[in-house]
Structure 1
Amino acid sequence: MLALLVLAVFPLQPTQAAASVQFHDLAAAVDFPERIVFTLEVEATQPIQRVELRYRPLLGAVTFVARPRITPAPALSVRYERDMRVNYLPPGIDLTYRWRVVFADGSWVDSPARTLRYLDDRYQWVQRVSGPVELYSAVTDARYIEQALTITTRSIADFSQRFGVELERPVRVLLYPSPEALRSALPLQSEEWIGGLAIPEYWLVLAGIAPGIGAEEEFARILSHEVLHLVIAQATDNPFTMPPAWLDEGLATAYQMANDPRLDAVLERARRSGKLPSLRALGSGFGTDPEAALLGYAASRSVVEYLVATYGEEGVARLLAAYREGVTDDEALERSLGLSVDELDRSWKAWLAERAATQEGSRAAAAVVLGVAALAAVVALWRGSRGSWRYPQATLRSDGHS
């Protein structure tokens, strides 16, 4: 049996051990997605009463402590399995870990720290680095990898330039060979429509994109979207709050390199039927229903388009900077743009209705012009054709006969 503890903030101060300790084995092996196996072989000049494995994601804030049950002895061989199905960690992160041996008087000795790159060992990964992007691809095709790198780096550079954000560390991207392969690496019961996700805490993007026809478009739609979440997370980073989903997803959707053609129609249907969601409803997420999620993305993109049209990208940059102060949504909007969430909601929906009316008027005017042009063409055709329908005139010869 194992006891599992979590150390959140304050580690205990070490106690000097009188015993001499030698660590012989500090290995770790990945069996994705089932487990990570940690092993320890250690000898000491006194009986070891307890051992602890301390591990955490290298970029994570929480250290986990496992205490395998042992029989006290001067020499130990220990094996600890972490069940990764139950205690999920995403592939692509680095783990740091060390063992601690504790003696009867309460003193202890820590082993040297080790680092484990936690990759999905079901695939052979090709690693490439370009600028701020470290890419791991399960697809070995060179063109596929180059397209993914180009689109990812270009998305980061474009968004960073527009909004004055400079990445503090590299981004790691794992590319699976299909959406189904990606979902097999996610927690159980994950939504079936997921094609990519960003994990800002670990500066990590996971995506499942099949090689071949359409891959470049999917890179532009999925990779450029997910990597922007990491840039937005840095632009708004603070220890207290996160930006609302409508801003985070809206920016990523508005500035991804390929538009989703479904969004305009979904948004217009909701507007016409009076079913546009409120910004407060969109603040915490879009739910798991695919249709509701699609409307959430469409509405959020539209809000960002309204903000850019009304306040410019400079205004959006001020809004992002306001979130770095750890304020609420209302406070961030008030400080940067001078309005509340509810006022933005009303202004956005009024803008959307006005834009729809303008488009309807333009379409109606275009229809009239086309109709007039079509009628004129018919009249001209009729007039021009009328002469060619006449019966032939008789031609008189010089002898008087026709």
Structure 2
Amino acid sequence: MAHQIERYSDFMKYRMLDIIFSGILLFTVGACSPNLTVVDTAATERALVASLTALAEDTGRELPLVATPIPSEEGVGSRNADIEIVSIDVENNYPNSITFEVVATSKNPLRRVAFFYWLQGQDSRNLETVEFVSGDEITASYTWDTARITVAPSTPIYFSWELEDESGNIFVSADTLVYYDDLRFAWKEIRDDEIIVRWYDGDQDFGGSIFSAARESLDRMKSETGAELEFPIFVILYANSTDFASWHYYVEDWVGGQAFTPLGVTTQILSPQHGSSWITEVIPHEIAHLFFYQQIQSNLASWPSWMDEGFAQYYEFTGKNQVLNRVEQAARNGELTPLRYIGGSFGHDPEEVRLAYDESLSVIVFLLETWGKQGLQALIDEIRTGATISVALSEAFSVTFEEFEALWITWLGTPATPRPSPTMIPTFGVIGMPTPVTRETPSP
């Protein structure tokens, strides 16, 4: 590999087993007995990682960063003394496929093997019944074919195995986390407990500038909201549009980045050739998307795009006056897009999209100036309960949606009264929130 991967003091805390031989990640759990616990497994992993790290240092070999199995905190599964797992392997062939394999033994022949997997943020589990040759020692595998879908790099995948023998004894393994990393590039990395930045084009100073921008923006959000992250954020940088598009099944050529909010992943086309203004605008924007999702998401929550995009733009490092002035002018000219129309997709027309982004920021600035950060948090809390935006505004601010919109327009300097809600046409958004390739150059 051309670049040395950075190692950090929290390497052991993450219990990362970053081992790859010929493209195959080997994660050996060992024989599972009724007395085995997650703590025991974790200790074994730490000892193995320590010995392999020492071996790599002695031989001068690197430990490339690959998918990283981590036992979850959600219990240890259901043990059975008659069934033992010998090993669990994960083979990463990103972006085309990822294969999970289990080797197990049993006092009685095994008759059923089931594989469960689910992505971080997914409410339900995918169940796959795996074919195998029955016996008292079996090897079974499942391959998730991702060649014809878009799966973000470093997607967190949870999985477990369920085995049943002919006597009806059942063994369920503990939930395990593996990151579906893109292994095709010689990644460099800077990380702490909350932010992981990866890039392959540019020196350490370049990566450091990205990490600093991400860290500063996240610290500001945490300080102003009093909220914390529930899971870490990945910032993954591709050097050009070809590399970026290579892991998509399809992506518009105007997309310069995406935020996969349930996964805690943002991917961007970013290299040292981009100016510092792009870094200070885009990185905080994407961190804000990921942070906002973690604060507002619940199984019942649904929120408008203008709220999400407005929050993200609010935390950009660049000035806001130019955008706010454009929205004020649109209000005077009677050209504002009704907020109901920008609750979903912003469409495809560049001028309409630009105005939708501008209005989103303007609404959030208005909301914060009128009701403060406590008001924004009250609105978020209502949405988390499953309230629609109309109900949430009524509960948090004692105004109807139409009154809220009229107050905003009046705040812009154009007196307005509540108007009837428009007839809505359903729109469908993109799972990964896109960042345009080009953004307007901020004013000095």
Confirm or deny a common fold (TM above 0.5).
yes
CA distance in 1, matches of 2:171, 2:149: 27
* Structure 1 or 2: more helix by fraction: 1
Q: Cα offset for 1:290?
A: 4.2
Whether the 8 Å CA contact 1:191–1:288 is kept in 2: the answer is no
How much does 1:195 deviate? Answer: 2.3
2:246 is the alignment partner of 1:184: yes
* Residue 329 in structure 1 maps to residue 386 in structure 2: no
Q: Determine which of 212, 229, 234 is the counterpart of 1:150.
A: 212
Q: What residue in structure 2 maps to residue 195 of structure 1?
A: 256
Question: Contact 2:112 / 2:165 at 8 angstroms: preserved in 1?
Answer: yes
Q: For this pair of structures, how many residues does the alignment match?
A: 339
Query: What is the distance in 1 between the residues matched to 2:319 and 2:241?
Result: 19
Contact 2:202/2:272 (CA < 8 Å) preserved in 1?
no
Moved more, 188-197 or 143-152: 188-197
Contact 1:238 1:325 in 2 (8 A): yes
8 Å contact 1:126–1:140 — kept in the other structure?
no
Contact 1:193 1:290 (8 Å CA) reproduced:
no
Which amino acid is 1:23 matched to? I
How much is the aligned-residue C-alpha RMSD, in angstroms? 3.1
* Correspondence 1:84 to 2:146: yes
Percent identity of paired positions between Structure 1 and Structure 2? 24
Q: Which structure is higher in RCO with an 8 Å CA cutoff and minimum separation 6?
A: 2
The 1:80–1:163 alpha-carbon spacing in structure 2 relative to 1, beyond 3 Å, is closer
What is the deviation of 1:230?
Answer: 2.4
Matching residue within 389, 401, 405 for 1:345:
405
- Counterparts of 1:77 and 1:306, CA distance in 2: 60
Equivalent positions of 1:121-270 (< 5 A) are: 121-130=183-192, 132-186=194-248, 188-214=249-275, 216-258=276-318, 267=327
SS at match of 1:89: coil
Instruction: Output the CA distance in 2 between the equivalents of 1:235 and 1:114.
Output: 25
Cα distance between partner residues in 2 of 1:116 and 1:234: 20
Name the aligned partner's letter for residue 110 of structure 2: I
Structure 1 SS opposite 2:255: coil
| Residue of 338, 349, 352 corresponding to 1:292 | 352
Mapped partners of 1:228, 1:268: distance in 2: 25
Question: Contact between 2:115 and 2:161, CA under 8 Å: does it hold in 1?
Answer: yes
Match of 1:37 among 81, 99, 108: 99
Of structures 1 and 2, the larger Rg is shown by: 1
TM-score (ref. length: structure 1): 0.73
**1:50-96, CA deviations, whole angstroms, 9 ceiling, x for partnerless residues?**
22122233564432221122343333333322111346432213323
CA contact (8 A) 2:202 2:271 kept: no
Contact 2:306 2:360 in 1 (8 A): yes
- Shift of the 297–143 alpha-carbon distance from structure 1 to 2, 3 Å rule, reads same
Per-residue CA deviations over 1:349-371 (Å, capped at 9, x if unaligned) read 3433549xxxxxxxxxxxxxxxx
- Note closer, same or farther for the CA distance 1:28–1:333 as it changes in structure 2 (3 Å cut): same
CA distance in 1, matches of 2:125, 2:216: 35
Distance apart, 1:33 and its partner CA: 0.8
Give the letter aligned to residue 401 of structure 2. V
Partner of 2:3 in structure 1?
none
Name the structure 2 match of 1:62.
124
TM-superposed deviation, 1:222: 1.5
**Distance in 2 (alpha carbons) for counterparts of 1:266 and 1:182:** 32
Separation (CA, whole Å) in 2 of partners of 1:219 and 1:253: 13
Q: Which moved more, 1:152-161 or 1:54-63?
A: 54-63
1-side partners of 2:124 and 2:376: how far apart?
A: 33
Consecutive unaligned residues of structure 1, counting only runs of 5 or more, are: 1-12, 356-402
**Gapped runs of 5+ residues in structure 2?**
1-76, 416-444
